[in-house]
Amino acid sequence: MSIIIGFPRIGEHRELKKALESYWSKQSTQSELQNTALELRTKHWGYQKDLDCVSVNDFSLYDNMLDLAYALGAIPERFRQYKGLELYFGMARGLKDSVACEMTKWFNTNYHYVVPELSKTDTYKIDASKIESEYAQAKSLGFKPKINLIGLFTFAALSKITDNASFEEIFAKLQVAYFELLDTLKKLDTQPLIQFEEPIFCKGKDERFYGKIKDVYNQIAAKGFKTIVTTYFEHSTEATEILCQTNIDGLGLDFVYGEKNFSSLNTIAKSGKTLYAGLIDGRNIWVADLSKKLETLEKIAQTLPKDKIIPSTSCSLLHTPFSKDSEVKMDKEILSWLSFAREKIDELKLLEAAFKGKLNAAEQQKWEENIATNANRKTSDKINDKATQDRFKQPLKTQRDSTFKERIKLQHKTLGYPILPTTTIGSFPQTPELRALRLRFKKGEIDTNTYEKGIQDYIKDCVAFQEEVGLDVLVHGEPERNDMVEYFGEQLKGFVFSQNGWVQSYGSRCVKPPIIFGDVSRPKPMTLKWITYAQSLTSKILKGMLTGPVTILNWSFVRDDLPRSEVCKQIALGISDEIDDLQKAGIHVIQVDEAAFKEGYPLRQENIKDYEKWALCCFKISTSLAASTTQIHTHMCYSEFNDIIKTIEDMDADVISIETARSGNELLKIFAKVGYSNEVGPGVYDIHSPRVPSKEEIKAQIKRLLEVLPKEQLWINPDCGLKTRKWEEVKPSLKNLVEATKEIRG
């Protein structure tokens, strides 16, 4: 026996994405969308046919948290007039005057979930039709279904309470509705198998609900289900201790990212429960070392009976690409080291057979191939770069040569800014024509000269506009970049890109993360050509634009044979080399974006300091070669800084730009409260909206900023990059920004 926690839903060739976007644009019907969904589910169940059961309700037209909110009838008041898919997609995407529910990251992954909104006025109404129909479909096709359901505690903890109700009040109402949903599902079969997903337990003790776990799961177990409670992304030892005292049937634990789960084995053994051992990595894309995984199973079997151990994935395979079958262009050796969702199912079945001691001849051959592949990966010249490794034998520079107070005096003298200097975050509109130019060049339809002429023309127009409008620090607009991480990954040694390695970010949005397979280095300058060309067009200061090492790391699939901290240091050295080249070429303002700095934070409080220490070290390595007269900017886009303000201080960037347009001055007050002394560029208008802010509106916002920080410390800029906006929105917005600033200066 073996199971997976869940399977990707987007389709081998992003069929769901295409079907959704066709439906949203009214080019296809609801019936056509549902037919595509059924075809995908049927196909995906087929891949799971040799497992103990197939996952039902892991599939979603948008998101599983949204699915559960819909099934419970947890509908925000502004959407209650709508029904069916109009209601469902409205909650995710917004409708007319009804703003969409928020989205945020699913724990520390790059997947986003729709945040349910709960209030004491909610009147829940159960709609189990999605689960019921999928269960019936799976059974009719001859599969044994396992219902995937977000656990009550995870759903409650990740939801947003929109009124003054207490968590206790909301939880009590929610529990009644959740149990009503379960009573409906009980009618599906004699003893339906339900996998309750409770990753919230991996964050440690939450005093709001820890005292309720035993009672809730005993009540659920009494309803007559076969019950598995699954946790993932970390260890869940505290909750495991409690769950072992309940009448549930089994526990799913992550042994890839939750090593401390081994300490729960004795407790599980005494409870007599079945352990679903998460050993195949559901978050990364490397081929499993099956010999080591078998050793782990045998180690577990020293404590638990073998018939109580079922191999599983560490989490849902949602976080991995579909299959590597489409990767016909990738280096064959590197490709052999990869394992996507379908391959991981094969690995799981092979591991199960080995654990039973029942490898047939074909399986034995695959086992030996796995051993050879892992041995090759350890010794390959493609992974090991002596020059990179030699750099680490020398002490790494992690500090700039002077303090901020010393630097800022020199920078003000040499750069000559006015009070309240104006700039942008970096990117300018990525027009359809620009995207078409890059695509045609990538396909070989145009030559290098034609492509570069198109990029130069864009930069020329972009710089001319910024001069015309009167910005103080200009940018080149990033027309050559399709993505802020992919652009650098394509030029750094140690990275490779898949053709079809798409994973779902949210809804129909998919991303194709770079793959870091070996030692990272920078063979040649990455941005120098276009930045220096842009600087040649103007006598004004031009800002170089780089992506920071922590963001590149956190938005990539990272090699698993080296600590993430060491991989990040290698990337940091490459960025450091780039900064040195830029400043030698006369670029004295350089922005190192760390948009994903916070996304790598561990789930457990006790591990955060270690992450902050090495992530901070990597940022400082990347900027350490900057001369005192070179001004280092960084940009972060978060709505919450309370927990990382000390780390931001320690980054020692000369200027940090942040998103504040939608949060009022609350965010900025944190900087004032801690006595943050470096310069700050709070966003004065929201770029996520197409509306053009008026001059008076921006003036009012600047005045509010001046109530919090002194004018000598402030920069004026939009709150994020402008790549998703249109020129007809950007031009008047920036014109108003500059004019408002000049009037405030007086």
pLDDT of residue 158: 98
Task: Answer yes or no: are the C-beta atoms of 564 and 605 closer than 8 Å.
Answer: no
Mean pLDDT of 82-107: 93
Mean pLDDT of 408-422: 96
pLDDT of residue 641: 76
**Euclidean distance between CA atoms 202 and 211, whole angstroms:** 16
Judge whether residue 98 has pLDDT over 90. no
Q: What is the enclosing helix (H) or strand (E) of 39? A: helix 30-47
pLDDT of residue 16: 98
Task: Answer yes or no: are the C-beta atoms of 312 and 277 closer than 8 Å.
Answer: yes
pLDDT of residue 498: 95
**Of all residues in the chain, what percent carry a pLDDT higher than 90?**
93
pLDDT of residue 99: 87
What pTM, to 2 d.p., does this model score? 0.94
Task: Indicate which residue of 13, 476, 588, 688 is catalytic.
Answer: 688
The pLDDT-based confidence of 638 (bands split at 50, 70, 90) is low
688 is catalytic: yes
Judge whether residue 264 has pLDDT over 80. yes
- DSSP bridge partners of 515: 496, 557
Judge whether residue 664 has pLDDT over 80. no
Mean pLDDT of 655-673: 81
CB within 8 Å of 245: residues ≥ 6 apart: 214, 271
pLDDT of residue 669: 85
- What is the end-to-end Cα distance of the chain in Å, rounded? 75
The pLDDT-based confidence of 662 (bands split at 50, 70, 90) is low
Q: What is the pLDDT of residues 515-553, one digit of tens each?
A: 999 999 999 999 999 999 999 999 999 999 999 999 999
pLDDT of residue 642: 78
Judge whether residue 640 has pLDDT over 90. no
Domains with residue ranges and CATH for the chain: 63-379 (3.20.20.210), 401-745 (3.20.20.210)
Judge whether residue 260 has pLDDT over 80. yes
Tell me, what DSSP letter sits at residue 394? Answer: S
Judge whether residue 665 has pLDDT over 90. no
Judge whether residue 737 has pLDDT over 90. yes
Mean pLDDT of 302-329: 97
The pLDDT-based confidence of 639 (bands split at 50, 70, 90) is low
**Of all residues in the chain, what percent carry a pLDDT higher than 70?**
99
Mean pLDDT of 640-657: 90
Mean pLDDT of the chain: 96
Q: What is the pLDDT of residues 123-168, one digit of tens each?
A: 999 999 999 999 999 999 999 999 999 999 999 999 999 999 999 9
Give start and end residues of each alpha helix (H) in 585-624: 605-623
If you write DSSP's letter for every residue of 216-264 in order, what string do you get?
A: HHHHHHTTT-EEEEE--SS--HHHHHHHTTS--SEEEEESSS-GGGGGG
